[in-house]
């Protein structure tokens, strides 16, 4: 490929990336208002920044919601390129697919409950906890009993653990500090606080958990709920809009650096047999 072709490809990629980042908040807000607010749309405010404008177009005027959306979009932009949505976007575009194709593939990666649906699962679990315990704010003893009941039934406590981190997720900490500063009283937010104290020691008791600490999803849903974004089926859309900042910026670097097509390692049947034999022998 000639230098001119590479330069032209980089320019087109950059333009696609800028268009996507610019338009995604309005597309998301359009879907939100069409789905939940009788198709009553709100025009963007050019005097607001990217994240605050998203809050505005969703229909939230409170300055705290705008602050939250700035925090939310920043911490969900991308935490490491190996996660499902970021890696998928990179993989598809490594074949020189355009940004629209790569990002749409990455967003599909958010659809799974282990990735983009995780904060929804946390809210569902907390709501179920409250329903079974009679609503309101349960005591720490009641929460502990419910956590143990969840684990005894073979289920996971959503919002805890991480494939990479081995300490409390700093994105959780950022949200906890936001809540401490701006939220005086909220039952769900308080339950999230209590879970931080209750769950890790219980998980450590099992001896099977390498990271018992809360992750980003443990807290994000509770903050959105507090400010009236109660449509938690929409949380993955907000996640996707936020993720665009990180993964699309990375595409510009991939193209500028001439990164090669990504190809997973291939193995033979003999290698698989040997691997299985070794694993069985170790166990």
Q: Which residues are catalytic?
A: 115, 162, 217
Task: Please enumerate in sequence order all residues whose Cβ is within 8 A of that of 79, keeping only pairs 6 or more positions apart, or say none.
Answer: 171, 216
Q: How far apart are CA 204 and CA 202, in angstroms?
A: 5
CA dihedral 47, 51, 56, 61 (to 10 degrees): -100
Rounded to whole angstroms, the Cα distance separating 257 from 271 reads 34
Residue 160's DSSP bridge partners are: 214
The pair of structure tokens assigned to 154 is 């073979």
Q: Please state the φ and ψ torsions of residue 93, each to the nearest 5 degrees.
A: -80, -10
Q: What is the dihedral of CA 215, 217, 221, 226, to 10 degrees?
A: 10
Measured in whole angstroms, how far is the alpha carbon of residue 169 from the centre of its chain? Answer: 12
């Amino acid at each position: 490929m000639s230098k001119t072709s590479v330069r032209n490809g980089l320019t087109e990629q950059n333009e696609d990336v800028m268009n996507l980042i610019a338009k995604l908040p309005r597309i998301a807000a359009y879907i939100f208002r069409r789905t939940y607010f009788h198709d009553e749309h709100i025009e963007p405010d050019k005097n607001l920044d990217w994240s605050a404008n998203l809050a505005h177009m969703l229909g939230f005027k409170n300055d705290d919601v705008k602050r939250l959306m700035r925090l939310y979009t920043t911490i969900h932009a991308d935490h490491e390129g190996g996660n499902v949505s970021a890696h998928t976007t990179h993989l598809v575009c490594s074949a020189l697919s355009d940004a629209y194709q790569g990002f749409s593939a990455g967003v599909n990666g958010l659809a799974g409950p282990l990735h983009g649906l995780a904060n929804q699962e946390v809210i569902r679990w907390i709501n179920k906890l409250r329903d079974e315990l009679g609503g309101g704010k349960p005591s720490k003893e009641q929460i502990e009993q419910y956590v143990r009941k969840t684990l005894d039934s073979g289920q996971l406590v959503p919002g805890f653990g991480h494939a990479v981190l081995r300490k409390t997720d700093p994105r959780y900490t950022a949200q906890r500090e936001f809540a401490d500063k701006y939220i005086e009283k909220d039952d769900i937010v308080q339950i999230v606080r209590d879970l931080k104290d209750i769950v890790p020691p219980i998980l450590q008791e099992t001896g099977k958990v390498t990271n018992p600490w809360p992750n980003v999803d443990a807290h994000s849903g509770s903050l959105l709920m507090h400010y009236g974004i109660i449509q938690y089926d929409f949380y993955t859309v907000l996640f996707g809009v936020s993720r665009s900042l990180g993964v699309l910026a990375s595409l510009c670097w991939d193209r500028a650096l001439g990164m090669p097509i990504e190809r997973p390692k291939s193995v033979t049947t003999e290698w698989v047999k040997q691997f299985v034999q070794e694993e069985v022998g170790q166990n």
